[in-house]
């Protein structure tokens, strides 16, 4: 079965293979036909494309022509619009800037745009002509703008009146309306407490004008006329600033001018100068700097240089007076005004750095800093001069009553004033970087001055012929020094040790006075060493101590004479301090009265029973006590009208 079926299967496969081959032949034929047809289409399309190419070329040419025509029309419109803009701008330029400056500047900008337009379209055959016309209008506009800038600067560069400046000051610095011409703008120490004082910057140019000035300045700089712009600004604003300062009272003075002035006049001028410096720096120059920055903002221009040259004359005039004072002959009374001047320069230093910022203003910054250092140097040298002058003061003035010498009160007041300037002195000492604490430096300076005074007083005390008055004089003056120090800030600087040491000096001189002045009186009341009775003396002439009546009489007479002499002299002497005066009287009474009472008690009976007892016992202890209270009052008292007996 299986063998017989195999031929049939083979036949079937053969038939299928034949059918498949026939199908492939037919498919190949179809493919060849399609290729032939497609090849025919490609040939026809190439022919069609070749036939249409001329039409496409003509169409592209027409399109390009339309585009060129459109561009030409647009270029023509742009050119025509530039001509129209030129015509309108020209009308504005010819009218000038005075009526409507903003429109005028807009017209100038329009002309600049037109110039740029034709400069970039030079193939236009009329471009050269229109460019020349536009540039001519721009040149004319530049001249008119320069004239307008000058007119504006002149109109709005008027000096500011002093009253307006004073109104911008803090109330504590404003001059009295009743006494403006008599240096009422001064105070003993005007800068104290002004750290937070408010200054109102004055309006030097109306705010609405500054933007216009800025626009014009930029136009002039862009047009290459920066030098003209600078000159107009410098001359107008510089003249206004100088005139404002002159109206205020600022004047240029030399060292010789200062040297010739009386002290009162110079002191007044220094007080004014301190006020002028604040007004100039904080108000005028600060205001001018703002104006300069606003006018030249956005301009390619060295405005620092411009401002520096505008302000130079005024600054030189201001600083010349300070420099003249710093270089003039030194004297003690100048120290405090020098400190005031130094203080205001330090106060204004930060403002000066801001106002005169930039390399171009460095010379003015350095000039101001140089004056500050020169004032510090002169003040320090005046310190040294004062110390030397105190120690070497050779005045022959003798206070006859032994009271406080004028030199003492002068020096003490001087030292008190120094402590009003503690903060300034700290800055002063820092200028020279001595390396020690400023408070200790102040203590050293003060101690040296006080020692110089004491040395001088020691010398002056030797001029007295009466040793008692020598010690009274030293007691009074050193006590005045101690009391003044204790009541002032000098106490914290000099310290308790200094006070205690000098209080001992006061006590030592008081003790020496008592010893020298009252030794003879007390000796008269002593019977030690007194001679005894002579051979002719009777027992009635002797007391229980064996002292003769004659000796006792002499002792009473000696006491009376010496006490009266002391009263006559020392009631003319003065102990000005009431507490010290009472203390000294009490100390004398505590020694004298017990001795006198004891002497009267022991020996009064020897002279009291005689013919004329008042001849010997002229003063009762109560009267002596009363008369002691007349000592050191500085006036002469007459003989007592009533003499008390035992």
Nearest CA-CA partner of 163 in 247, 236, 240, 238: 247
Tell how far CA 532 is from the center of its chain. Answer: 84
pLDDT, one tens digit per residue, over 481-511 is: 999 998 888 888 888 999 999 999 999 999 9
The verdict on 121 and 209 lying in the same domain is no
Q: Give residue 1's pLDDT.
A: 43
The verdict on 382 and 405 lying in the same domain is no
Q: What angle do CA 429, 431, 433 make, to 5 degrees?
A: 75
Q: Give residue 111's pLDDT.
A: 62
Mean pLDDT for the stretch of residues 308-331: 93
The verdict on 270 and 359 lying in the same domain is yes
> How would residue 537 be classed by pLDDT, with cut points 50, 70 and 90?
very low
The verdict on 242 and 350 lying in the same domain is yes
Q: What angle do CA 472, 495, 478 make, to 5 degrees?
A: 10
User: DSSP code of 282?
Assistant: I
Mean pLDDT for the stretch of residues 355-368: 92
pLDDT, one tens digit per residue, over 383-425 is: 888 888 888 887 767 888 999 999 999 999 998 888 888 888 8
Q: Is residue 535 part of a domain?
A: no
The verdict on 618 and 576 lying in the same domain is yes
Q: Is residue 532 part of a domain?
A: no
Contact call for residues 429 and 372 (beta carbons, < 8 A): no
The verdict on 488 and 600 lying in the same domain is no
Backbone φ and ψ of 215, nearest 5°: -60, -45
112 contacts: CB under 8 Å, gap ≥ 6: 138
Alpha-carbon gap, residue 18 to 237, rounded angstroms? 119
Q: Is residue 111 part of a domain?
A: yes
> How would residue 181 be classed by pLDDT, with cut points 50, 70 and 90?
very low
- Residue 612 belongs to domain spanning: 522-527+546-629
pLDDT, one tens digit per residue, over 453-486 is: 999 999 999 999 999 999 999 999 999 999 999 8
| Most confident residue range from 23-27, 201-205, 438-442 | 201-205
Greater confidence (206 vs 105) lies with 206
Helix (DSSP H) and strand (DSSP E) numbers for the chain: 21, 0
Alpha-carbon gap, residue 107 to 90, rounded angstroms? 8
Mean pLDDT for the stretch of residues 258-270: 92
Q: Is residue 12 part of a domain?
A: no
Task: Say yes or no to pLDDT of 541 above 60.
Answer: no
Provide the β-strand partners of residue 633: 574
Residue that terminates a domain, selected from 388, 410, 435: 388
Task: Say yes or no to pLDDT of 242 above 60.
Answer: yes
Q: Is residue 197 part of a domain?
A: no
Contact call for residues 572 and 401 (beta carbons, < 8 A): yes
- Angle between helical axes of 101-119 and 209-222 (0-180°, round to 10): 30
Greater confidence (544 vs 237) lies with 237
Task: Say yes or no to pLDDT of 235 above 90.
Answer: yes
Copy the structure tokens of residue 176: 């009295």
Q: Give residue 114's pLDDT.
A: 64
Can you give 195-259 as a three-state secondary structure string? CCCCCCCCCCCCCCHHHHHHHHHHHHHHCCCHHHHHHHHHHHHHHHHHHHHHHHCCCCCCHHHHH
Nearest CA-CA partner of 562 in 533, 525, 537, 590: 525
The verdict on 343 and 271 lying in the same domain is yes
Q: Give residue 134's pLDDT.
A: 63
Q: Give residue 100's pLDDT.
A: 58
Q: Is residue 1 part of a domain?
A: no
Q: Give residue 194's pLDDT.
A: 47
Q: Is 302 helix (H, G, I), strand (E, B) or coil?
A: coil
The verdict on 322 and 225 lying in the same domain is yes
| Most confident residue range from 19-23, 88-92, 448-452 | 448-452
Mean pLDDT for the stretch of residues 100-114: 64
Q: Give residue 121's pLDDT.
A: 64
The verdict on 358 and 480 lying in the same domain is no
533 C-beta neighbours (distance < 10 Å), count: 17
Tell me the CB-side half-sphere exposure of residue 373, using CA atoms within 13 A: 9
Q: Is residue 4 part of a domain?
A: no
Mean pLDDT rounded to a whole number for the chain: 81
Nearest CA-CA partner of 341 in 308, 374, 365, 381: 374
Q: Is residue 333 part of a domain?
A: yes
Nearest CA-CA partner of 205 in 196, 197, 214: 214
Q: Give residue 222's pLDDT.
A: 83
Alpha-carbon gap, residue 108 to 114, rounded angstroms? 10
Lowest mean pLDDT: which of 415-419, 448-452, 579-583, 585-589?
415-419
Greater confidence (354 vs 394) lies with 354
**Residue in this structure with the two tokens 């003769």, named with its chain if needed:** 548
Residue that terminates a domain, selected from 363, 388, 413: 388
Provide the β-strand partners of residue 542: 548
Greater confidence (538 vs 164) lies with 164
Give the CATH number, domain containing residue 253.
Answer: 1.20.1280.170
Determine whether 189 is exposed, middle or buried from the number of CB atoms within 10 Å of its CB (0-12, 13-18, 19+): middle
Copy the structure tokens of residue 7: 């031929």
Q: Give residue 286's pLDDT.
A: 94
Q: Give residue 265's pLDDT.
A: 92
pLDDT, one tens digit per residue, over 619-643 is: 889 999 999 999 998 865 444 433 3
pLDDT, one tens digit per residue, over 14-52 is: 887 788 787 777 777 777 777 677 677 667 667 767 777
The verdict on 384 and 429 lying in the same domain is no
Alpha-carbon gap, residue 295 to 176, rounded angstroms? 36
Copy the structure tokens of residue 617: 């016992």
CA dihedral 284, 285, 286, 287 (to 10 degrees): 50
Task: Say yes or no to pLDDT of 189 above 60.
Answer: no
The verdict on 411 and 494 lying in the same domain is yes
Tell me the CB-side half-sphere exposure of residue 562, using CA atoms within 13 A: 17
Alpha helices in 279-361 (DSSP H): 286-295, 303-327, 334-347, 349-355
Alpha-carbon gap, residue 456 to 179, rounded angstroms? 42
Greater confidence (559 vs 116) lies with 559
Q: Give residue 17's pLDDT.
A: 74
Task: Say yes or no to pLDDT of 447 above 70.
Answer: yes
Task: Say yes or no to pLDDT of 277 above 90.
Answer: yes
Q: Give residue 183's pLDDT.
A: 45
Q: Give residue 572's pLDDT.
A: 92
The verdict on 232 and 355 lying in the same domain is yes
Residue that terminates a domain, selected from 154, 184, 212: 154
Please state whether the predicted TM-score (pTM) of the whole model is above 0.85. Answer: no
Structural domains counted in the chain: 4
> How would residue 333 be classed by pLDDT, with cut points 50, 70 and 90?
confident
Q: What percent of the chain has pLDDT over 70?
A: 74
């Amino acid at each position: 079965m299986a063998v017989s079926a195999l031929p049939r299967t083979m036949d079937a496969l053969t038939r299928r293979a034949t059918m498949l081959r026939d199908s492939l032949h037919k498919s190949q034929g179809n493919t060849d036909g399609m290729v032939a047809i497609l090849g025919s289409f490609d040939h026809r399309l190439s022919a069609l494309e070749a036939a249409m190419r001329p039409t496409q070329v003509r169409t592209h040419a027409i399109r390009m022509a339309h585009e060129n025509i459109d561009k030409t029309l647009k270029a023509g419109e742009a050119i025509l619009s530039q001509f129209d803009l030129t015509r309108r701008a020209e009308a504005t330029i010819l009218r000038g800037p005075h009526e409507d400056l903003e429109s005028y500047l807009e017209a100038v900008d329009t002309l600049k745009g037109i110039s740029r337009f034709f400069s970039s379209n030079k193939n236009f055959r009329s471009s050269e002509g229109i460019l020349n016309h536009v540039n001519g209008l721009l040149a004319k506009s530049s001249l008119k703008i320069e004239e307008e800038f000058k007119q504006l600067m002149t109109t709005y560069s008027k000096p500011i009146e002093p009253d307006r400046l004073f109104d911008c000051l803090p109330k504590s610095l404003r001059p009295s309306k009743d006494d403006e011409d008599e240096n009422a703008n001064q105070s003993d120490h005007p800068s104290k407490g002004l750290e937070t004082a408010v200054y109102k910057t004055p309006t030097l140019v109306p705010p609405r004008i500054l933007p216009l000035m800025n626009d014009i300045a930029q136009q002039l700089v862009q047009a290459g006329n920066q030098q003209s712009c600078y000159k107009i600004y410098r001359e107008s604003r510089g003249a206004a600033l100088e005139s404002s300062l002159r109206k205020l009272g600022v004047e240029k003075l030399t060292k010789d001018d200062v040297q010739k002035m009386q002290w009162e006049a110079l002191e007044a001028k220094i007080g004014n100068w301190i006020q002028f410096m604040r007004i100039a720096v904080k108000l005028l120059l600060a205001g001018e700097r703002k104006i300069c920055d606003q006018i030249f903002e956005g301009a390619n221009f060295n405005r620092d240089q411009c401002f520096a040259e505008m302000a130079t004359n005024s600054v030189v005039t201001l600083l010349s007076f300070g420099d003249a004072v710093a270089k003039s002959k030194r004297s003690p009374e100048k120290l405090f005004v020098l400190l005031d001047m130094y203080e205001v320069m330090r106060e204004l230093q930060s403002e000066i750095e801001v106002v005169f910022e930039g390399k171009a203003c460095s010379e003015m910054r350095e000039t101001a800093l140089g004056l500050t250092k020169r004032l510090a140097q002169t003040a320090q040298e005046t310190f040294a001069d004062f110390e030397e002058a105190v120690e070497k003061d050779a005045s022959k003035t003798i206070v006859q009553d032994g009271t406080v010498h004028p030199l003492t009160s002068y020096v003490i007041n001087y030292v008190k004033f120094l402590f009003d300037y503690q903060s300034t002195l700290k800055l002063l000492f820092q200028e020279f970087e001595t390396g020690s604490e400023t408070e200790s430096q102040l203590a050293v300076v003060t101690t040296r001055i006080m020692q110089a005074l004491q040395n001088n007083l020691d010398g002056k005390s030797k001029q007295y012929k009466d040793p008692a008055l020598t010690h009274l004089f030293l007691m009074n003056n050193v006590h005045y020094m101690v009391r003044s120090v204790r009541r002032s800030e000098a106490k914290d600087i000099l310290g308790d040790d200094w006070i205690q040491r000098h209080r001992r000096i006061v006590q030592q001189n008081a003790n020496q006075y008592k010893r020298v002045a009252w030794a003879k009186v007390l000796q008269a009341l002593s019977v030690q060493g007194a001679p005894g009775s002579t051979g002719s003396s009777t027992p009635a002439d002797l007391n229980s101590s064996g002292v003769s009546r004659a000796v006792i009489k002499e002792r009473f007479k000696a006491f009376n004479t010496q006490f009266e002499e002391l009263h006559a002299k020392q009631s003319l002497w003065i102990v000005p301090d009431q507490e010290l005066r009472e203390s000294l009287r009490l100390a004398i009474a505590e020694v004298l009265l017990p001795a006198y009472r004891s002497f009267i008690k022991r020996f009064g009976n020897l002279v009291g029973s005689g013919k004329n007892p008042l001849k010997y016992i002229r003063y009762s202890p109560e009267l002596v006590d009363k008369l002691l209270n007349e000592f050191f009052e500085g006036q002469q008292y007459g003989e007592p009208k009533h003499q008390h007996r035992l």
